[in-house]
Amino acid sequence: QKEVEQNSGPLSVPEGAIASLNCTYSDRGSQSFFWYRQYSGKSPELIMFIYSNGDKEDGRFTAQLNKASQYVSLLIRDSQPSDSATYLCAVTIAGRRALTFGSGTRLQVQP
């Protein structure tokens, strides 16, 4: 079982719709959860991080964490074509400072 799992996609949504990206993790000791956006050929850039159960909102983005279900999601409201990218979920596992990444979900926002 992979430590961090994501559906590879592509997830296709129309412009203006809500995109929902999901991520599950296997280590119950995971402490911090991150969402990164990566454009082709570029380094990932941080969108949001979340530490506690519940929702965290930042502009059009909402991260949701459910530690009991070992599940973290990212909602993108009013999706724009510029949001088309691969979204990486990453976690820090207890005892390790390095991030463990999922394989990413490719999002396509159709104009």
Partner 1 sequence: GAVVSQHPSWVICKSGTSVKIECRSLDFQATTMFWYRQFPKQSLMLMATSNEGSKATYEQGVEKDKFLINHASLTLSTLTVTSAHPEDSSFYICITTNANTGELFFGEGSRLTVL
The footprint of partner 1 (CB under 8 A) covers 4, 8, 41-46, 88, 97-104
Q: How far is the CB of 94 from partner 1 (least distance, A)?
A: 15
Q: How far is the CB of 58 from partner 1 (least distance, A)?
A: 16
Cβ atoms of 33 and 16 closer than 8 Å: no
How far the first Cα of the chain sits from its last, in Å, is: 36
101: amino acid identity, one letter: F
Q: How far is the CB of 40 from partner 1 (least distance, A)?
A: 10
Q: DSSP labels for 48-65? A: EEE-SSEEEEETTEEEEE
For partner 1, give the closer residue by CB, 28 or 96. 96
For partner 1, give the closer residue by CB, 18 or 46. 46
If we measure between CA atoms, which residue out of 15, 14, 9 comes closest to residue 88? 9
For partner 1, give the closer residue by CB, 65 or 88. 88
